[in-house]
Structure 1
């Protein structure tokens, strides 16, 4: 006997009759010699005896396969196959060897079925004995399907080509392959033990075969090929079947053609593709190609063609509506058919986990390529890291998914049936629980319920309608107003009951203007339905604001801007918190409202207050940008430019949001804005460098880790004082040897290379794209200004600063620092800067030149005439920001020869601190100047966010102005 009494005693007695029956049937089929051989193998490997018993208890299919084909079992035992993981990469070559040169369809079909049966037993054995991970099991099953599809299609392609000729493209004349697009679990490499395979057949071009007797159109050829492939896979013969094939996911479903060319596929998905088809296409993968030696390129072409349909470039919350509708249909079907015990479709089942993950893929996958991943378990930690799932949710869903999939496999392993329904019979329930390692059904169901409860809670958080509550009842009060069902008096009465009386009339007029807007009048029905649902919610949320009319006036341009892309309205409806943050921020700042109108994609930033109000440090910014561009090639300049523009806009919004809500103080705001610019400049330089090097080679003496090139930031960038909308003052320097050339085929001399590098950097920064520009760039501070070289050598820069530079250029050098490029050259630049700034100057001449420059600036920029007595320009008028900056610059140029510490920093506040430490300015004076400088800049930021000019009434900041003017008089105008 295969199983002795001691071993059977370890198994519940309820299973003994069936095990004895299996043993008797095996003995009858294998004969005495076969039984002896099996016992010998099992005695030398005792662990296999225990494993075989568990397999025969858990899988009637595996037991019957071993009984029907005892040689298969004996071979597996002799080779010790159960101890070896199934390597997915070995299945296709192994199947190809076993099939060899098939003599005909019958031999092919028999070979496929026998190989499938043997592999399935191997998979079930390892799965039921928990020798394989879920990834091994699903990966091996998917690889088995790929191998069978590939071998069968290759065989039939050859046979048909011999009879009808090879299909060729009508335009290209190239041999036409057929591609099998795997969908669903096969596409994701997550096939289960009894999955059918969802397939779509495609070929590149229309055309015809080149047969000697009669030609077929490519459509006819590939239709015949598809039918033969399906028959080889799913026909049920004496040897069973290979895989059930489901072609219903193809365009037009069962009523559509069996196979489509690429143009027809693209046209269908662009014009008629539905949301559920987008959901299905997430997992699409080319599983096999027949007709060409290497199908990699054509497979990549097909997937690239389908990707724009699957993944929108914008944040697409309309996907949630579609998934919610799909889930509602599934729920109704589950209830109608009594499928509550289905571990896939029931509450908290496998499908809900898939919906959770795929919702975020559809919403964000077009913007974040990391989400264009087919494997669910790989995506879970990514989603949690991005804040899409709460902390700990990924681990909980991972554990639940593994439990549910293992349960699904145990259910299917029993009879190789495509079902996910839990058994109802007592014996079958005991068998399932025991197969999964539980003592009884109650212990198993307790674990199952725990996992399903967790899954359903996460599913409800993602998919459930957030407005199925009292709040939606409140919003319904506003529907008659928006639908123009009230006359003016009734409308004003309703508005007056919720808003200030002074706002009611303006709100009424704004809503009328929106209704009559051309964008709204010409909306399609689906978009108009979303707008009609959104506006009442907006009006309800506005009731919490004081300045209702003004806030609405700032929000409605955004509503009008996204009217034709109503997925953004869905985003706000799906996330009530985001809608409240939108209203709050627009109320606080018209600048923020304007940024959102220009770039509605930024609405995504409002979803998570943790990131919106918690700006990252510089290293985190680098990491985030690195992730954003991870999958972009260096050649994709447009892709990098768009990624950079969104990155900058998103973080500028976070800065502004943090500033208007007082999360960030002034100094941190400037730091953050400066870090954003520096990280962007680092990446822009890297992209420009790579593109130049790929085209021309590296300049003589340069390496990728030392470009012999730096970007120097002046002004606000150099002084770490960037504000909202600041431009960048840049100077480009190199240290390459003259007379040397690049090492590429298209050589350039070093100077020309670096000049073109500088031009490319400016182009990337200033080019107008769909995402706008990155920054306005000013390069007039380079040596000799507009008449000088765009990129100077450090030696030339040093010579110019020493012999030809004006005093105002030395003033500008006070706030100059390297912001990107070679670390070595940055150190050399700093040495040159320090040497220039620490030079001893004649004080009277220095003061005269500084004052003259300041007077010229006032003449052009300061408030003049009668307005001078009434208004104060906080930047340019006497006692303002520029006066403080000139005081600091004068002090450095006048005294740095006495104390080199004055040139250590480039920002005004820390330089003032150094002046105090050196005893060159008094503590009270420094404190007053710093306080005034911070107050001015803080007011300037607030005015910028309010879209106002930096001009105040003359009575404001009188004390600060007097302090600054007093210091100015003492240092620069006293004899």
Structure 2
């Protein structure tokens, strides 16, 4: 819908008449004559001009200053289709420019003329709000890039051309930030820019070379002057460079490497918010540096995990907005006020920062394009989305009308009657465009200023409702910290002050030097690190509480370096510092866990994302049933791209680390006994093994297809767990002892892949791929260390054997120690029929007749060999695992009893874990119930001690007196079973 001068009220008609009277005489007389003549044709050119003049002083002034433009409008009024192809229309104008003075004139006159056209289209509602600000952005981009390119040629002629190592000229890249970057420029916006260039070096082709930094800095300065300097023709754009690294104190232009380093090490949250809309202006898709710059910036903005700092930043922004509104008296500001444009932008950006790393569809700068995606992800309701969209369009139209009046950047509602009437008239004829770009007339009940304000307030209330809903209830701000350590980070706190604090905590004076040195080193490191303002605020909140709690703990000497190491690793990652501030219960919980577990402290320091696992103590005290790990892992991996192998592998490692932390926490907090800890660790490993095999199968079958002898859904593949995995007795640092078996079929080939291979080769490739996935060392570490030495023929054997070959080897070639190992084996992965086949082989092998004397001799010899190579030799200490009377002796006792008695009682082969092996031995009268119970108790106590030593990061060695009774009992059983045959 368009409207004519007949719809403009009396005051605006009078204004238009006054403005027209200031036009050159040959025009104003003709205009008034034409108006009188065209009263019956309200949509005539002159009628529309009259309306546009009434709505915008800027439009009228442009017509006065550029009579040739008035003449063009007289002949044919602007249309939205005229507001396009800016670069193409600027090119011939720049071609005629010979001096910077001429450049300034061309830029300004073209800008004013094109802005006047857009003001005309806006006033007459010839385009949607979105179409107007997209064209405003395109105009700005064309002017900026055109000016840069002209000035670049002049700079090269004067200072030489910057080139890369291959001699290719380098350009100045300009990041358009804010609304310019998002194609959402206001009618009279400042433009926020960042200058960067690909690499350092020196210019070539000039009498005197200069370095690239100096070249691009000078070019940037000239570009700013060309845009920002006020001349007789006005200015082009007010240019703001404060968003660049280090703000006003930073270099005007930075290399890609310097830019990346800054954002990696010092980038702050507000810079992440700003960079959401960062866009390379005039980007050439064929330029490899464009892609490099985009890839450089993306990880800074969009992270793969939920960013807790967003929550706190949202609250901080709320307070900042309210303080700014109060300080500047901006209650009627449609951008900064409650329910204003900034709150809508912030709502959208928060979801982009939280979810954008996982949801690529949120990685776009334009708000109106992102809003439907947020709703589609069900992060906000459809009604909330529509409320925000309608409010945004209404507020942006209001903003543009305000700014087009005098070409001034303002979002303040006017106090004068004239400009209020302009807003009333403009919003009476407001036409909305829906998401399919179809025109939808929105008839607001606006007929005066009061009704305009009513509609405006309704939109603002809708925005504020969504904004408040996202923030939630905020707890009261904490009172001033009264901790003894509140001033620790201040430079004027010296060693004597710290010593006094230690005295107050009743710390042993003998520990002072060590503690003070650690604290001094930490504080010096803090002072050198680029933490940023917000990081330092968060650190100042965390450290007093942290140190207070450390020095009230009995294990302060070991706890202090562990906690300082964690803080050191998150110093420049404000997210995690704020997590500890935001969740006060997390810090004491972290201290409790780190005091008892060096492993947890090291893992959290290496992977701070694990701090998320410490938020809910109830979750730590109530770990999920171990049989749910498979489904939990499936749910966890659903968030990742299934065709991104690296991301899936990282996901497996992250899941393992997070789950391991939860198990260890439950162990430390007393929620899991040692047997249950091993159950959890074992079934966690099993769940991961299943997904690794599935991932490897997908990769291998894509290349080679599947063996033709398999039925639909079959894999014909078995994973056998040995040792602690097979015995359901995994510890925190256990390797995985695996053997791979497959269902053989003569002359079977693969089909359906890129090339066909024999089935036995297929399973070999599958085994290799599985081991590769487990062993790949990524940022998240190695998934598990895998030991394949228990396969037939050990390291000399094939990685993967057929079931038939495995059976033949075990029955005819296996050594006694291999049969011992088979006792603690079970199928971990594979079709049930194959698992049953393996169980039958295992039972047959273990139950096969054997000479007991020879068996006894082999077991003793193997134990003696292990003792000689692995046992602890210090007589004052006891190696729980390898010394006589330790874990290994108990395991050998269990294995010997199975191998010795299974030929007469095959049921003894049922279990692979030592505890149930002893139980079935007692049931079968192989050993007494008393001996069974005592062996189990010794075994559980020793394993429990190893678990806790592992958590502390200490070796499995204790004072010789600690398990003296247990050692004597176990050695007594050994002597009874083996008739004193072991050599002393």
The normalised TM-score by structure 2 is 0.66
- Counterparts of 1:138 and 1:653, CA distance in 2: 53
Asked whether 1:185 is paired with 2:179, we answer yes
1:901-955 Cα shifts (integer Å, max 9, x gaps): x97x977899999999999999999999999988886676456445574989669
1:338-381: CA deviation from partner (whole Å, max 9, x where unpaired): 33543444577665776788799999999999997757799999
Q: 1:780 aligns with which of 781, 785, 789?
A: 789
Q: Which moved more, 1:371-380 or 1:786-795?
A: 371-380
> Please, which of 508, 512, 518 is the counterpart of residue 516 of structure 2?
512
Contact 1:397 / 1:455 at 8 angstroms: preserved in 2?
no
> Structure 2 matches for 1:372-771, cutoff 5 A?
403=391, 406-416=394-404, 417-424=408-415, 439=451, 441=453, 444-445=456-457, 448=460, 451-452=463-464, 455=467, 468-469=478-479, 471-472=481-482, 476=486, 484-485=495-496, 494-495=504-505, 511-515=515-519, 518=521, 520=523, 524=527, 534-542=542-550, 548-551=553-556, 553-560=558-565, 562-563=567-568, 566-567=571-572, 570-571=577-578, 572-573=580-581, 575-596=583-604, 602-607=610-615, 617-625=629-637, 627=639, 634=645, 645-662=653-670, 669-670=677-678, 672-674=680-682, 676-678=684-686, 680-681=688-689, 698=704, 711-718=719-726, 720-733=728-741, 758=767, 762=771, 765-766=774-775
Relative to structure 1, the CA distance from residue 108 to residue 606 in structure 2 (aligned partners, 3 Å threshold; closer, same or farther) is same
SS at match of 2:505: helix
**Aligned partner of 1:200 among 194, 200, 204:** 194
Q: Mean alpha-carbon deviation: is it higher for 921-930 or for 411-420?
A: 921-930
How far apart, in 1, do the equivalents of 2:851 and 2:387 lie? Answer: 73
Determine if contact 2:334/2:340 at 8 Å carries over to the other structure: yes
Q: Give the corresponding residue for 1:84.
A: none
Distance 1:324 1:869 in 2: 56
Q: Secondary structure at the match of 2:739?
A: strand
How many Å apart are 1:779 and its aligned residue?
Answer: 0.9
Give the corresponding residue for 1:792: 801
The answer to whether the 8 Å contact 2:202/2:211 transfers is yes
Contact residue 869 and residue 954 of structure 1 kept, 8 A? no
SS in structure 1 opposite 2:737?
strand
Q: Deviations over 1:642-701 (max 9, x none)?
A: 66555433331122123333556767644543454345556666787899899xx64895
Report the more deviating stretch, 650-659 or 830-839: 830-839
Is the deviation greater in 886-895 or in 917-926?
917-926
8 A Cα contact 1:699 1:750, kept in partner: no
Cα 1:690–1:203 shift into 2, 3 Å: farther
Aligned partners of 1:890, 1:72: CA distance in 2, in Å? 106
Q: What's the CA shift for 1:582?
A: 1.1
**Distance in 1 (alpha carbons) for counterparts of 2:124 and 2:290:** 34
- Partner of 2:168: helix, strand, or coil? coil
Deviations 1:426-454 (A, max 9, x none): 78679579879585636754763675487
**In the superposition, relative to structure 1, how do residues 216 and 22 fare at CA in structure 2: closer, same or farther (>3 Å)?**
farther
Q: Do the aligned residues in 2 keep the contact of 1:523 with 1:564 (CA within 8 Å)?
A: no
Q: 1:716-769 CA distances to partner (integer Å, 9 max, x unpaired)?
A: 334554331121112244669889899999999987887677556546545667
Give the whole-Å Cα distance in 1 for the aligned partners of 2:617 and 2:288: 43
Distance 1:866 1:148 in 2: 80
* Alignment deviations for residues 556-579 of structure 1 (CA, whole Å, 9 cap, x no partner): 333046447634683445543321
Consecutive unaligned residues of structure 2, counting only runs of 5 or more, are: 21-29, 64-68, 98-104, 431-441, 446-450, 979-984
Judged with a 3 Å threshold, the aligned counterparts in structure 2 of structure 1 residues 553 and 189 are, in CA distance, closer, same or farther, namely farther
Q: Distance in 2 between matches of 1:53 and 1:306?
A: 48
Quote how far apart the aligned CAs of 1:152 are.
3.9
Q: Which residue matches 1:973?
A: none
Q: Is the contact made by 1:841 and 1:894 (CA closer than 8 Å) also made in structure 2? A: no
Q: State how far apart, in whole Å, the 2-side matches of 1:114 and 1:919 are.
A: 103
Change (3 A) 1:856 1:629: farther
Deviation string for 1:389-425 (max 9, x for gaps)? x998999799669746753542333443432334445
Inter-partner Cα distance in structure 1 for 2:690 and 2:126: 50
Q: Secondary structure at the match of 2:555?
A: helix
RMSD, aligned α-carbons: 7.2
Aligned residue for 1:576, secondary structure, equals coil
1:117 and 1:912 mapped to 2: Cα distance?
A: 92
Task: Indicate the larger mover: 364-373 or 275-284.
Answer: 364-373
Distance 1:146 1:668 in 2: 66
Maintained 8 Å contact 2:637/2:648: no
Q: CA deviation at 1:468?
A: 3.7
Would you say the 8 A contact 2:195–2:252 is kept in 1?
A: yes
Task: Tell me the CA shift for residue 782 of structure 1.
Answer: 0.7
Does the Cα contact within 8 Å between 1:181 and 1:286 map onto a contact in 2?
yes
| CA-CA distance at 1:172 after TM superposition | 1.1
2:845 pairs with 1:833: no
**CA offsets 1:554-606 (integer angstroms, 9 cap, x no match):** 24333046447634683445543321221222345454335445655644543
Partner of 2:448: none
Distance in 1 separating the partners of 2:419 and 2:486: 52
Between Structure 1 and Structure 2, how many residues are aligned?
898
How big is the shift at 1:833? 0.9
1:285 matched to 2:294: no
Distance 1:889 1:3, change over 3 A: farther
Decide whether aligned partners of structure 1 residues 660 and 19 sit closer, same or farther in structure 2, where only a CA change above 3 A counts. farther
The separation in 1 between residues aligned to 2:50 and 2:965, in whole angstroms, is 90
Counterpart contact for 2:189–2:409, Cα < 8 Å = yes
